[in-house]
Structure 1
Amino acid sequence: MRFNKLLTSAVCIAAIFSCQNDDDNTTKIPVNTEVNFQYKTTINVGGEGASEISAYDAISKKLFTVNVESNQISVNNISNLDSPVLETPIDLSVYGAPNSVAVSNGKLAIAVESDPKQNPGKILVYNTSDNTLLNQYTVGALPDMVTFSKDGKLIISANEGEPNDDYTIDPLGTISVIDLSDDSISILDFTSFNSQETALEAQGFRVFGPGATLAQDVEPEYIAVSEDSNTAWVSLQENNGVAKVNLTSKTIEGIYPLGFKDHNIAGNEMDASDKDGVTELKNWPVLGMYQPDAITSVNIGGIDYLFSANEGDSRDYDGFSEEERVEDFTLDETIYPSSNNFQNEVNLGRLKTTSTLGDTNNDGEVEQIYSYGARSFSVWSGSGSLLYDSGNSIAKETLSITPTRFNDEDGRSDDKGAEPEAVEILNIGNERYILFVGLERNDQVMVYDVTNPTAPKYMAILSHNGDEAPEGLLVIPAADSPNGRDLLVVSNEDSGTVSFYENIQ
């Protein structure tokens, strides 16, 4: 479905700004902030798992894509977007399985997990021009995401530290900071926060692995770096929190619990059942854990804003599983009267929730139902305060405009809905900011104008037939783009495809 078919005339207009500088009486070059993204082309990388995360090198005009299916990094020269050229891939079979890639100043960083993944992983650095290995760094267990600081001087990795399937080995979750000036590696863990566990849990942070300390239980997922390269924020998805890292001192400054979203208030309605035969948004006495996957940061007007895709995630291992459906609970009837029939599968019975929260007095009865994810994107301050949540906007717009794709044809209504997985922001001349939100289950990308970060405006939905499960989003500004236009690159995990959308203005 092409963007121009969905974009309303109200937002598909040119917004061209010029401004006078009062100090020197000079005029800035006008910035064309018109937004009109259309589908351009698709690269077929492989089968399922062949296209997870992509990174682009403006110097060589190469796109590097994580290919888990083949334990490779697929390389495509996109100098001519009409005819991308597949080049020799980077084979990683000697090192392990790749999870993430990032590019800066002609260097490609690759996060590679070990086998078993509870062992320390590696960050490999390659030259983007000839794909030669420049260096390798040993980091924490399961490096799941890697990025560069904006000034290119640091590499940061989020090392998830997942347990084994029996839950008998649970390594520390860590954050690695690699200083490229001297190749030093700082591996930051959360042991200093063990003493704060009770206080953090009271604010909505989760520590729930069997026998795990907070430092073992945290699972760093995704990284956002400030524009001045002094700060990183790291999502702790399963734990429902965000960590703030001082990149100058290389220390973890704090953990911000994200709390819960009330689905029983106006604007937060959801479809909680896949068995009711209808697609309908309703209020329910349920609290959603935000549990962001991807996060990104942007500085607008001198203020740092953090954007999160509130996908939600559970732990489901042979040795421990928290997943339960509401129909399997014993509910406290003073809160959930049986007369309301909440446990019927057409109501809340099918909703997937956690066994680790809700029975506050340990009497075997659930006083509060908690669901995974918030089915939204959110805007947070740099200190973890919620500034905006999109409420039911994702569900409302997809149901209205693309009803056959709603919650993956309603099949995921009982789980996490559309599963907002990825977020990216396009900065157009420091005048206009466009947010893209990838929906893993709907095979779509939502588009919002976030020039005012606390009052985003829905714009449109992007999708392309054949693309399934967008895992990673990447924006390429016009100044770096091979065709001189702003690009959105969507890496689709299930279909093994990478699709390009261009801003035709």
Structure 2
Amino acid sequence: MSKSLLTAASVLALCAGAAQAEMNFNRIASFATPDNMAEGEDRTRETSAEIIAATADGMTLIYTDSPLESVGRIDITDPANPQPMGNVEMGGEPTSVGVIGETAYIGVNTSESFTNPSGKLVALNVATGEVLGECDLGGQPDSVAVAKDGSFVSVAIENERDEDLGDGRVGQMPAGYLAMVQLTDGAIACDTLNKVDLTGLTEIAPEDPEPEFVDINSLGETVITLQENNHLVIVSKDGEVLSHFSAGAVDLEGIDATDERAALIFDESQPGRKREPDAVKWIDDDHFAIANEGDMDGGSRGWTIFAKDGTEVYEAGTSFEQALIMIGHYPDKRSDAKGVEPESIETATFGGTPMVFVGSERGSAVGVYDVTDPAAPVLKQVLPSGIGPEGYVAIPARNLLVSANESDLIEDGGVRAHVMLFEYQDAPAAYPTLTSEGMDELTGWGAISGMVGDAEQPGILYAVNDSFYGYQPTIFTIDATSTPAKITRALRVTRGGQPAQKLDMEGITLDGKGGFWVASEGRTDRLVPHALYNVNAKGEIKKEIALPASLLAVEKRFGFEGVTRVGDTLWMAVQREWADDEKNHVKLVSYNIETGEWGAVLYEKAAPATGWTGLSEITAHGDYFYVVERDNQIGAAAVTKKIYRIPAAEMVPAPLDGELPVVSKEEVRDLIPDLKGWGGYVVDKVEGLAVDAAGEVFVSTDNDGVDDSSGETFFWSIGKF
């Protein structure tokens, strides 16, 4: 049974550390894996960082890069400024790596087919990149673990199934096994290879165990996850099976199990969900933690602690997933699969506190747990990990935690795969910057777009989500007086008493009557109109204003991105050029609420270095109108993420059928240094800008609903204009 109700306290402890001056992990640097490519090498090739390890002195990282069939090395002598050491080709697909001293032991898959698997164990000098030796393992390796005393290596020989055969079920030969190889002064003693038979142990396909992950405790005992078989095995250093038991199942309540709804609704259940664990790590010599990713039938969206005799000590239930929901990291498009999909586990002791780090592959985050009492872990933090975290390594002697993030989105124009470094500091937690923790019911959120400040209450703002949540258009109330800022209300936008459809809310402003004006960007190819909506304090759409024919005649899909009100006039920023606009010029469109008159001026935006540039917000304050101008680039390619101001005196609308005046602009702030301040890569979508009742200015980013995105939302103050 799920113990999610019993662990609610640990969920609610998530943001407590953010406001306290205590030890916290904060991200200090990130390293893009293409930076390890040699000069002249094709940097458009796919690359990745999957399983990662560190040398004994903690100064060098080594990670597996499956697409490049290599391992990458990073010098972290200065962890805030990681430096490339290059890649070393492996002659196959590296799957895992462990390190003793300065020697890495790498599992390499050389299989010709599923039915003819093969692989090797390679010893590599991390500093020099010299291959010191290799050993034929007789099958396809997955996970590698090294004994703490340096005496042997354990390798999970998965011999994985072909998911396109037999409905993807286990029961496909040859069977997997555990390979144990002795080391002599660090050298692989191939003649000691011991293939430990794991058949006949499981209820599910006992003839075909598929070992997934291994770890070794200080007694030399290897714990093995048989993921598809939903089973756990403990093997002695001599290769004797000491114990084995089912990983069991969990009853999940209060989850979103349907991705077609395009909404965050947590009202479904999955009884008897098999855990099917992936990663496993010893906490001490008697307890280990598993990440319940699932693969074939299961995936319980959480993690579990077992004693090595098979006793279940702790079950997270849905509490881990709920923690990610509250900070905007829930991947709605994965709802019908395995939700946040915990895949990675790391354990270490920092400052005398034993910790478990649980990585969410789809939520792109890692939970930091205090496991002083293994029966009652306490969630201390959730850290943003990069897209698709696959592996972690803790370096307590240097107060460092490192994540390897495998997703490389080069084909989609997105961010490259990254390694990210976190430092355990005597400092407040920098992340999350926004949370719904503390609301009466579990409230998910994401894809935050336009914002506006309350007219009377300093620190109170309102924000909208965009069309990613097409069945759940929402106006969020944000209390920015707390750290992190808190969502205190989720006002659903309705039409005729039902969730309003065909909205793409990209801007919001106050209507002066207790309600709001909302700008919908619109996409005619999806039958989403470009329009303005007047929404009352209850969230009901009371008035819809369509664009005039003269504007619709030249419209393109990149429409209104922000709205602001001055008296009876609404001003909307059009993101990019429409059909009648001169290159690198966009319209700022006006609409008079009382007369119904439309007009516009032109704004000259920056010529893009790569991709495109456009506007993503407009806010009137004092004698100026402020706009956010940004490119669509991410990471090192980002150039333009800026706030400009336009004199209000120049914002005099001209008729749409005539020549439009070009307004002047002045740069107010470059936001790229702000975005770099969180230690990760520069995100692309700065979409919210609001001034509160006291004149404080807040900025926010859109996390794209955690779809091909790290899920990170940055919400911060930049002071006053």
Tell me the TM-score normalized by structure 1: 0.72
Provide the residue aligned with 1:138 in structure 2: 136
Provide the residue aligned with 1:380 in structure 2: 306
Provide the residue aligned with 2:28 in structure 1: 40
Where relative contact order (Cα < 8 A, 6+ residues apart) is larger, the structure is 1
What is the identity, as a one-letter code, of the residue corresponding to 2:232? V
Q: CA deviation at 1:419?
A: 0.2
- 1:185 equivalenced with 2:193 (yes/no): yes
- 1:450 equivalenced with 2:371 (yes/no): yes
Q: CA deviation at 1:54?
A: 1.1
Q: For each residue in 1:342-392, what CA deviation from the matched residue of structure 2 results, as whole angstroms up to 9, or x when unmatched?
A: xxxxxxxxxxxx5xxxxxxxxxxxxxxxxx211101010112221111111
Tell me how far apart the structure 2 counterparts of residues 81 and 66 of structure 1 sit (CA, whole Å). Answer: 20
Equivalent residue in structure 2 for 1:107, among 103, 106, 112: 103
Question: What value does the CA root-mean-square deviation take over the aligned residues?
Answer: 2.2
Provide the residue aligned with 2:250 in structure 1: 261
- 1:397 equivalenced with 2:323 (yes/no): yes
- State how 1:236-275 maps to structure 2 within 5 Å: 236-247=226-237, 249-263=238-252, 268-275=253-260
Tell me how far apart the structure 2 counterparts of residues 253 and 492 of structure 1 sit (CA, whole Å). Answer: 34
Using a 3 Å threshold, how does the CA distance of structure 1 residues 393 and 234 change in structure 2: closer, same or farther?
Answer: same
**Contact 1:66–1:100, Cα closer than 8 Å, also in 2:** yes
- 1:288 equivalenced with 2:273 (yes/no): yes
- 1:174 equivalenced with 2:162 (yes/no): no
Q: CA deviation at 1:143?
A: 0.3
**Contact 1:101–1:111, Cα closer than 8 Å, also in 2:** yes
**Contact 1:44–1:497, Cα closer than 8 Å, also in 2:** yes
Q: Which runs of 5+ in 2 are unaligned?
A: 1-12, 35-44, 409-416, 427-721
- 1:228 equivalenced with 2:213 (yes/no): no
Bigger mean CA offset, 160-169 vs 109-118: 160-169
Tell me how far apart the structure 2 counterparts of residues 251 and 290 of structure 1 sit (CA, whole Å). Answer: 25
Provide the residue aligned with 1:504 in structure 2: 425
Provide the residue aligned with 2:355 in structure 1: 434
Q: CA deviation at 1:60?
A: 7.7
**Rg larger in structure:** 2
Q: CA deviation at 1:179?
A: 0.7
- 1:488 equivalenced with 2:407 (yes/no): no
Q: For each residue in 1:258-305, what CA deviation from the matched residue of structure 2 results, as whole angstroms up to 9, or x when unmatched?
A: 221122xxxx43221112343233353621101110010122xxx611
Q: For each residue in 1:22-52, what CA deviation from the matched residue of structure 2 results, as whole angstroms up to 9, or x when unmatched?
A: xxxxxxxxxxxx5311111011003655111
Tell me how far apart the structure 1 counterparts of residues 315 and 64 of structure 2 sit (CA, whole Å). Answer: 31
Tell me how far apart the structure 1 counterparts of residues 19 and 152 of structure 2 sit (CA, whole Å). Answer: 39
Secondary structure of the corresponding residue to residue 453 of structure 1: coil
Tell me how far apart the structure 1 counterparts of residues 86 and 333 of structure 2 sit (CA, whole Å). Answer: 39
Provide the residue aligned with 1:70 in structure 2: 68
Q: For each residue in 1:193-230, what CA deviation from the matched residue of structure 2 results, as whole angstroms up to 9, or x when unmatched?
A: 2xx6xxx42xxxx21xxxxxx23x2100001211222x
Q: For each residue in 1:389-438, what CA deviation from the matched residue of structure 2 results, as whole angstroms up to 9, or x when unmatched?
A: 11111222222222xx21x1x11111100000101122135x31122111
**Contact 2:105–2:123, Cα closer than 8 Å, also in 1:** yes
Q: For each residue in 1:231-265, what CA deviation from the matched residue of structure 2 results, as whole angstroms up to 9, or x when unmatched?
A: 11100001101111111x212233311221122xx
Tell me how far apart the structure 2 counterparts of residues 166 and 141 of structure 1 sit (CA, whole Å). Answer: 20
Using a 3 Å threshold, how does the CA distance of structure 1 residues 281 and 91 change in structure 2: closer, same or farther?
Answer: same
Equivalent residue in structure 2 for 1:311, among 262, 271, 293: 293
Provide the residue aligned with 2:662 in structure 1: none
Aligned sequence identity (%) = 29
What is the identity, as a one-letter code, of the residue corresponding to 1:97? E
- State how 1:280-359 maps to structure 2 within 5 Å: 280-282=265-267, 284=269, 286-299=271-284, 304-314=286-296, 354=297
Tell me how far apart the structure 2 counterparts of residues 75 and 259 of structure 1 sit (CA, whole Å). Answer: 38
Tell me how far apart the structure 1 counterparts of residues 308 and 278 of structure 2 sit (CA, whole Å). Answer: 17
Using a 3 Å threshold, how does the CA distance of structure 1 residues 169 and 420 change in structure 2: closer, same or farther?
Answer: closer
**Contact 1:111–1:144, Cα closer than 8 Å, also in 2:** yes
Provide the residue aligned with 2:159 in structure 1: 161
Tell me how far apart the structure 1 counterparts of residues 49 and 236 of structure 2 sit (CA, whole Å). Answer: 32
Using a 3 Å threshold, how does the CA distance of structure 1 residues 294 and 137 change in structure 2: closer, same or farther?
Answer: same
Tell me the TM-score normalized by structure 2: 0.51
Provide the residue aligned with 2:392 in structure 1: 473
Tell me how far apart the structure 1 counterparts of residues 106 and 19 of structure 2 sit (CA, whole Å). Answer: 38
Equivalent residue in structure 1 for 2:210, among 219, 222, 226: 219
Secondary structure of the corresponding residue to residue 399 of structure 1: helix
Provide the residue aligned with 2:506 in structure 1: none
Secondary structure of the corresponding residue to residue 65 of structure 1: strand
Q: Which runs of 5+ in 1 are unaligned?
A: 1-5, 15-33, 208-213, 315-353, 355-371
Using a 3 Å threshold, how does the CA distance of structure 1 residues 292 and 122 change in structure 2: closer, same or farther?
Answer: same
**Contact 2:344–2:390, Cα closer than 8 Å, also in 1:** yes
Provide the residue aligned with 1:278 in structure 2: 263
Tell me how far apart the structure 1 counterparts of residues 58 and 274 of structure 2 sit (CA, whole Å). Answer: 42
Using a 3 Å threshold, how does the CA distance of structure 1 residues 239 and 151 change in structure 2: closer, same or farther?
Answer: same
Using a 3 Å threshold, how does the CA distance of structure 1 residues 258 and 133 change in structure 2: closer, same or farther?
Answer: same
Tell me how far apart the structure 2 counterparts of residues 378 and 250 of structure 1 sit (CA, whole Å). Answer: 25
**Contact 2:67–2:93, Cα closer than 8 Å, also in 1:** no
Q: CA deviation at 1:455?
A: 0.5
Using a 3 Å threshold, how does the CA distance of structure 1 residues 10 and 61 change in structure 2: closer, same or farther?
Answer: closer
